[in-house]
Amino acid sequence: MSLKNIIIVLLILSTSLAANGQQDPLYSQYLFNQSMINPAYTGVNDVFNASLFARKQWVGLEGAPQTNTLNASASIINNKVGVGLLISRDTYGVNKNTEYQLMYSYKIDLLNGKSLSFGLQTGYIDYRYDYDELSLEQADQALELADGEITKVNFGSGFYFKTNQFYLGASVPRMLNMETQGANGTATVHKRHYYLSAGYVFDQLIALKFKPSALIKIVEGQPISVDLNASFLLLESLWVGATIRNFNAVGINSQFEINDMFRLGYSFEYPLNAVGTSTFGTHELMFSVDLELFKNNAIGRRYF
């Protein structure tokens, strides 16, 4: 990987990373599975679910972010308790970050199909910086000394309220700021993120349903991030929609429900700034399966 490409990636990332901390990996398919950003979503649909996500950002630009995530969750104990596991690998430039999280939720069933879940998660994140991948004409001792690994334990929490047509969630998936001591003093590796999400399904339309939704992300010292999405469900099997992210990127998203058990998703994003002239956009794939593995599990129609 050339130093020139690393510099380009870092300059681009500077628009979304604070100088004193990294941001969480980006996702588009959270529209159909919010376990990556909210532990209270774990087990909320009364089934065992396993999902794979693969995201390649800014295709064509060497060193651009790539994220691969495995999430598995189950509803147990009469569908009152959710347990889950999340493993994520996020790379960009010389950074290679691996995350392992265990998740727990407790669901309170309310009247008329409503439910309220509270979630907790704990795990650790391993940050690695490998400057050996740089192609330099001359060795740089400062870069060699900067190589390293940082492993930190963290905790998260959230709540998730849903009805048959509406959902509202709030979470802080990593509550602790992560700091490390370096040659120049204390540096913040990661700052806590606050998420607020909501969506509603209008089902009075013939042969289709309409779901507007929004996700707000807040990080101290950074501009508020806002995703706005509008999706349509056609013939109860195909979701298609459009997204605008921070008013500087647009995208399309889709999910095909092969049946009540299997789902395939694809998202495409394109930046509206100068980055767009250097890349072929961002692509994200998702595969998901629902199974009835535990007592009282029941696969059924769901929109969130």
Q: What is the pLDDT of residues 29-56, one digit of tens each?
A: 998 899 999 999 999 999 999 999 999 9
Tens place of pLDDT for every residue, the chain, 304 residues? Answer: 544 454 444 445 544 444 445 678 889 999 889 999 999 999 999 999 999 999 999 888 888 899 999 999 999 999 999 999 999 999 987 788 999 999 999 999 999 889 999 999 999 999 887 766 665 555 555 445 455 788 889 999 999 999 999 999 999 999 998 877 655 666 677 889 999 999 999 987 777 999 999 999 999 888 999 999 999 999 889 999 999 998 889 999 999 999 889 999 999 999 988 776 778 899 999 999 999 999 999 998 888 8
Closest by CA position to 81, among listed 105, 64, 101, 65: 105
Q: If you write DSSP's letter for every residue of 33-70 in order, what string do you get?
A: --TTT-GGGTTTTSSEEEEEEEEE-STTSTT--EEEEE
| CATH classification number, 3-291, choose in 3.40.190.10, 2.40.160.40, 3.30.460.10, 3.90.228.20 | 2.40.160.40
Task: Please report, as a single letter, which amino acid is at residue 266.
Answer: Y
3-class secondary structure, 141 = helix
- For residue range 257-291, list pLDDT tens digits in order: 998 899 999 999 999 887 767 788 999 999 999 99
CA distance 301 to 23: 33
Dihedral pair phi/psi, residue 132, rounded to 5°: -65, -20
| pLDDT given for residue 195 in this prediction | 97
CA distance 264 to 59: 21
